[in-house]
Structure 1
Amino acid sequence: MPRGDTVLSGLRVLVTRTPERAGDLVAGLRDRGAEPVLAPMHQAAAVAGQEARDLSQLVRTVADADAREWLVFTSVNTVRALQAVVEGADGGSPDSSRHDQALDLGEHLAQAVAGGLQIAAVGAATARAARNAGLPVHLVPPPEQSSAAGLVNVWPHAAEVNQPTATGPAVVYLPQSAWARATLRDGLEAKGWRVETAVAYRMVDFPAASPLTEVTSTGSVAVWDPHRAREELARGTVDAVVATAPSLLWALFASTDGKPPAPAVTVEPMACAVMGEPTLNAAQELGLKAVAATVPDTAGLLDALEHAVKENRA
């Protein structure tokens, strides 16, 4: 049941997440009296061809890893992508003889974990997804540093934890988005680690032809395509925006020629809640009255949105 009057009561809030990722946020907005509308710009899609083969090879290699090696998850989508490989959803199961047993990721990597494979996650939500897939998580940066840079900050230097070997430094396996920046890879290499990367998924226009997660239902929440979302923003029928990545904001406010506008085209200054410093920077460049969540979770986003609305009204 919705609360009494809150800062968000009666506001139409545009959420740039896809339906399968927006459930908690939609519920939270409704609980605070807002009207959520989904306007997903992109969706995570499974890789194909050589990228799928490279990802399957990385999963096979990780399954044989030892105590000198790490596996890093940079997003929930990365966990889902590796789970899809294990299940053979991409047509290239690491172990086709066990395909019909529908192993979870934790079962597939159990021997490596028992042998000392360490697992890191970039933030709490990603760590939770890894644990739900049956994996332990050994390293997560503090909430205020939930980013690639934050993970680099807490990562040990290779010389502190590894004895020199004839084969060189220990390995960090880094499956990631095709759009991933080099921040994490470069930071780990600077600390003496060898980093093996693979493209785990691609962000494509919503809806994806081969999504990592199928959307079975959007419930009663409205879902707008990008064109409709931009029209409503220009008309002033949207009161606030929630975004968790810079690319989502740039896509939402992109001009017809694909160039990012400055400032964002809206009837009046728009309150915006974001997750992470890169997203905050993008929002500010677009002229949005943005506030970043102090804790990178749904409650943090909702609190940031209330703060942004208050600031926008001041």
Structure 2
Amino acid sequence: MAAQNRPLSGLRILVTRTREQSGELAGKIEELGGQAIVLPVIRLQPPTDPVKLAELEQAIRELDKFDWVIFTSVNAVIHFFNRLEQFEVEAVRLQRSRIVAVGPKTAGALLERGLVAYKVPERYQAEDLFEAIAPELKPGQKVLFPRSDLARKVLPDRLNSLGLKVTEIDIYENKLCTDHADILVDLLVRGEIDVVTLTSPSTFRNILTLIRTAGAEPDELLTGVKLACIGQVTARAVQEAGWSVHYLAEEATIDSLVQVLIPAGRE
């Protein structure tokens, strides 16, 4: 099918994920005839705070004491295994733990590394993950929660409320990426972005920060630009900041996000 006849033909779509993770979304956009503009607004890095590093290392060296280990993103899996390698700890020490993955992508990342997810919820949010394992939770059980430094507190708070002992470790840090700030603002000024894809609350916050840092106002530069959110958590962050969500993926997956963009190509 010629590019001009594809569902996203003519659409200029901003991809804001990290450079390492932008390929899948950009590729799917271009397969459907859209122009993917890859300008990461976040970067992920290992923890740098000495106190947090010490807590992380202690938890990693005591893996065999946890009843549950919960992964809420592919990034958490990747950086968790990076830390295992850093501290020379074998994943086999998780054999007594029940491993929980927030969705099939996360479960797949675990399987690639030799771990089978005990439970994967039908919907891919922390709230649904909690509901999926709630019948098996018991006071006193120990839970390891490898997370981003910006992760929501919903899940650990609920687990703690039931009397479980939750160890949260910042397995990676989510930082503002300023590498492409000038390009981003220039494209927005010239009206060369039709849709901005948002795959986390931090991608939205970072876009606003980059615009303001450049001395511009988001209200001016984002006028006429459509915002597409990967899931309810990201959508709520956008709406609570006073912005409208134009496209909301039914599931928190890249495939669902791409599918919800198709009507934009008809507008």
TM > 0.5 between the two? yes
Whether the 8 Å contact between 1:122 and 1:140 is mirrored in structure 2 is yes
Match of 1:307 among 239, 258, 263: 263
* Structure 1 residues 161 and 4: CA distance shift in structure 2, 3 A: same
Residue identity matched to 1:151? L
| Matched residue, 2:84 | 86
What is the match of residue 173 of structure 1? 144
CA distance 1:2–1:112, shift in 2 (3 Å): farther
| Deviation of the 1:50 alpha carbon | 2.7
Name the counterpart of 1:239.
194
Alpha-carbon deviation of 1:309? 4.9
| Residue type at the aligned position of 1:7 | P
CA contact (8 A) 1:262 1:287 kept: no
1:65-113 deviation per Cα after TM superposition (whole angstroms, max 9, x unaligned): 36xx00011211211221111222xxxx145xxxxxxxxxxxx222431
Matches within 5 A, 1:1-314: 5-48=5-48, 49-62=50-63, 64-65=64-65, 69-88=67-86, 93-95=87-89, 108-113=90-95, 116-142=96-122, 145-157=123-135, 160=136, 162=138, 169-206=140-177, 225-254=180-209, 255-256=211-212, 263=219, 265-268=221-224, 270-284=225-239, 285=241, 287-310=243-266, 313=267
Shift of 1:267: 4.2
Higher helix share: 2
Deviation at 1:36, TM superposition (A): 0.6
Deviations 1:251-285 (A, max 9, x none): 11335269x977463242x2232112121123444
Unaligned runs of 5+ in 2: none
Q: Tell me which amino acid in the other structure corresponds to 1:21.
A: Q
Aligned to 1:20, the other structure's residue is in SS state: coil
**Number of equivalences:** 264
Name the CA shift for 1:37/1:193 in 2 (closer, same or farther; >3 Å).
same
Post-superposition shift, 1:121?
Answer: 1.3
Cα distance in 1 for partners of 2:105, 2:2 equals 25
Q: Is the 8 A contact 1:13 1:238 kept in 2?
A: yes
Q: Output the TM-score relative to the length of structure 1.
A: 0.75
Q: Structure 1 residue 32: deviation in Å?
A: 0.5
The 8 Å contact of residues 18 and 42 in structure 2, kept in 1 or not, is answered as yes
Cα displacement (A) at 1:200: 0.8
Structure 2 counterpart of 1:75, which letter?
S
- What is the letter of the counterpart of residue 76 of structure 2? T
Q: Which amino acid aligns with 1:58?
A: A
User: Is the alpha carbon distance of 1:283 and 1:5 closer, same or farther for their aligned partners in structure 2, counting shifts above 3 Å?
Assistant: farther
Whichever residue aligns with residue 62 of structure 2, its letter is T
Check the 8 A contact 1:243/1:273 in 2, yes or no.
yes
- In structure 2, relative to structure 1, the CA distance for the partners of 1:274 and 1:225 (3 Å cut) is same
| CA offsets 1:51-78 (integer angstroms, 9 cap, x no match) | 222212111111x236xx0001121121
What SS does the aligned partner of 2:99 have? strand
TM-score w.r.t. length of structure 2: 0.88
Residue identity opposite 1:301 in structure 2:
L
Query: In 2, are the aligned partners of 1:263 and 1:287 still within 8 Å (CA)?
Result: no
Aligned AA for 2:114?
G
Structure 1 contact 59–94 (Cα < 8 Å) conserved: no
Question: What is the alpha-carbon distance in structure 2 between the residues aligned to residue 225 and residue 50 of structure 1?
Answer: 32
Q: Which entry has the higher C-alpha Rg, 1 or 2?
A: 1
Q: d(CA) in 2 for partners of 1:119 and 1:192?
A: 19
